[in-house]
Chains A and B, each alone.
Chain A
Amino acid sequence: MNFDLLIQLIVNGIIVGTLYGVVAMCFVLIYKSTKIVNFAQGEFLLIGAWTCWALLVKFELPFYVSFPLTLAFMVVFGILLQVVVLRPMIGEPIISVIMVTIGLSMFFQALVAWIFGGYTKAYPKVFETESVNILGLQIESAYIMSMVISLIIMIGFYYFFKYSRLGLAMRATAFNQQIAQSLGISVKHVFAASWAISAVVSALAGVVIGMVNGVSSALSFIGIKVFPVVILGGLDSIIGSIAGGLIIGVLENVAEFFDSQWLHIGNMYNIAPFYALVIILMIKPYGLFGTKDIERI
């Protein structure tokens, strides 16, 4: 048995897992405050990564200009999406809203493929990437950077929800919309803000992954992989999404390892999380940290 490879894969799993955790947090943010299951989460990564790529390559802007521009664009994009598409859906049955987000997902995938084509495109070298040797493990510096960014985002989320005025308002809205309104909180603003934040942070994750792996439609697949993560962690738990991200990230790498060593089924990397999803739904449908009365999908 190849122990070094196993440990290397576990480390990779943790690194990818933190990114899953970040995307899952964005998903949970929308679910908690608006009760919408957003199937278009992966497209936020896709659109963010492509926007940044276009600004870098087509418009030849430097990274420190194109990156903030991308984030600003995503704020506007998130708010517009909520106001134009999802606000009219308030009060409609949950299944209709889910169908709308599935529709959005397909629409944006097709739109992006139409504009940028179907092939993977590499990001221009923004930072020097090299392999770093930590305790005998080969880790790319880009991965370390992505992990640091993910951790900063997570800590940022913590402080945002603990201390900021908008963060508290979002928690109150998630707890009970009528109570929030009685305190003078505009639920409409909170909804728009949660879509905007979710879009921005997802786009950030999209750019980070794009820089490491290149941009392609594969990015939106992360939006699908978020489902095992949030269902494991609990649909309405921010902590759960981080824990779920790490577990699924490690799980898929370990499954890949066992497959390559003994099973030889192939493509376990992508399939294992969904086996886990089915098993979790059977034995612990509310996830590790979820509250029990939430809607199942």
Chain B
Amino acid sequence: MGEAVQSVKSKEVLLSINNIEVVYDEVILVLRGISLDVPKGEIVTLLGPNGAGKSTTLKAISGLLKTEDGEVTRGSIQFKGDSISNRDPDEIVRRGIFQVMEGRRIVEDMTVIENLRLGAYTRRDREINSDIEKVFHYFPRLKERTGMAGYLSGGEQQMLAIGRSLMARPEMILLDEPSMGLSPLLVKEVFGIIRNINREQGITMLLVEQNANMALHSAAYGYVMESGKIVLDGTSEELLSNEDMKEFYLSGGEDRKSFKNLKSYKRRKRWM
């Protein structure tokens, strides 16, 4: 690892996952020994194809695994030094980790304001209204929407889902595919806001993405998952210049005129 890695690694680690295994329904092994570290205040991204176990990793952290009959059967998840594996999701939120689930899971029959107030469910202070204003500062277009949240556009729903996570004043946000189903322009806008939130609020983020290019340009460090294992990790610069990454995730490093020259399937196997 290069010097840049050292500087990332030397920061205080907020979340540390050590060799976890996740089993669904007591038989289906989904994660096969995942380890990763998220330093405080950084954006770390988790990349990989469909079914690699990225969302499962996030759910293992947030405790939502329990709602799907999943369980962490081995290894440890530590947040600020405390073990948090197999805890109830509401306890994890109270500890300061908030997951923005895949597919903009907002409460569709509530208004924008009601959704935001729901995000602050675990808080009991009186600053909720000023925090709603803070969310509108990042997402000004949400302020104009007064109807039910189900009628918002896809991009606005994603913005509401991210804004709602801010309402809980989390130390760490787990973002599951914020770019899903959005137009390229909107993806750019949403990622810009995510970077702003990270910089200005100092919120640590673990970002799961299919859009590797966008994610690596926002994150400091990245992990690549395949079939329930981490196959590659490095700083964003390293990953962006990695030949395999270019080949499989960054849509062709060299000019690809035909699929003839595509590196063989074996090459991919070697990672695992």
Nearest-CB distance from B166 to chain A (Å)?
12
With A181-B67, A182-B62, A184-B89 known as contacts, the answer to whether A176 contacts B105 (CB < 8 A) is yes
Whole-angstrom distance between the Cβ of A78 and the nearest chain B Cβ: 21
Q: How far is the CA of A213 from the CA of B202 in the complex (A)?
A: 64
* Residue among A172, A176, A177, A182 making CB contact with B99, cutoff 8 Å: A182
B90 at the interface (CB under 8 A from A): yes
Complex Cα spacing A182 to B168, Å: 11
Distance in angstroms from A178 CB to nearest chain B CB is 5
A165, A175, A184, A186 — most chain B CB neighbours (10 Å) = A184
Q: Which residue of chain B has its CB nearest to the CB of A181?
A: B89
Is B117 interfacial (CB 8 A cutoff)? yes
Stretch at the interface among B39-47, B106-114, B208-216, B235-243: B106-114
**B107–A184 CB distance below 8 A:** no
The answer to whether A184 touches B105, judged by C-beta atoms less than 8 angstroms apart, is no
How distant is the Cα of A168 from the Cα of B113 in the complex, in angstroms? 11
Cβ contact within 8 Å between B118 and A183: yes
B206 proximity list for chain A (CB < 8 A): none
Choose one: B90, B94, B107, B122; the contact of A179 (CB below 8 Å).
B107
Q: How far is the CB of B128 from chain A (nearest CB, A)?
A: 10
Is the beta-carbon distance between B110 and A183 smaller than 8 angstroms?
A: no
Inter-subunit contact B62/A169 (CB<8 Å): no
Range of interface residues on B (Cβ < 8 Å): 20 to 34
Interfacial chain A residues near B119, Cβ < 8 Å = 183
Which residues does chain A contribute within 8 Å of B38, judged by CB atoms?
none
| Tally of chain A residues near chain B (CB < 8 A) | 16
A33: shortest Cβ distance to chain B, in Å? 13
Q: At the interface, yes or no: A185 with Cβ under 8 Å from chain B?
A: yes
B34: CB under 8 A from chain A? no
- Tell me if A171 counts as interface (CB < 8 A to partner B): yes
- In B154-169, which residues have CB < 8 Å from any A CB? 164, 168
Return B75 CB to nearest CB of chain A, in Å.
23
B98 shortest CB reach to chain A, Å: 8
> Could you tell me the distance in whole angstroms from the C-beta of B86 to the nearest C-beta in chain A?
14
Q: CA separation between A34 and B101, bound complex, in Å? A: 22
Chain B neighbourhood of A179, CB < 8 A: 101, 105-107
Name the residue among A165, A169, A172, A182 with the largest chain B CB count within 10 angstroms. A182
Given the interface pairs A171-B107, A176-B105, the reply to whether A182 lies near B121 with Cβ below 8 Å is no
Residues of B with C-beta under 8 A to A183: 93, 118-119, 121-122, 164, 168
In the complex, the answer to whether A182 meets B118 with C-beta atoms within 8 Å is no
The reply to whether A182 and B105 form a contact with Cβ atoms under 8 Å apart is yes
Give the chain A neighbours of B90 by CB distance below 8 A: 181, 184-186
Known: A165-B121, A168-B121. A182 touches B101 (CB 8 A): yes
Q: How far is the CA of A200 from the CA of B105 in the complex (A)?
A: 33
* B174 to chain A: closest residue by CB: A182
With A178-B105, A184-B89 as contacts: A172 and B67 at CB distance below 8 Å:
no
Q: Can you report 11 residue pairs joining A to B where beta carbons are below 8 Å apart? A: A165-B117, A171-B114, A172-B107, A178-B68, A179-B106, A181-B63, A182-B99, A183-B118, A183-B168, A184-B90, A184-B121
Interface positions of A (Cβ within 8 A of B)? 165, 168-169, 171-172, 175-179, 181-186
Apart from A172-B107, A184-B122, what 8 extra A-B contacts exist at CB < 8 Å? A168-B114, A177-B67, A178-B105, A179-B107, A181-B64, A181-B89, A182-B62, A183-B164
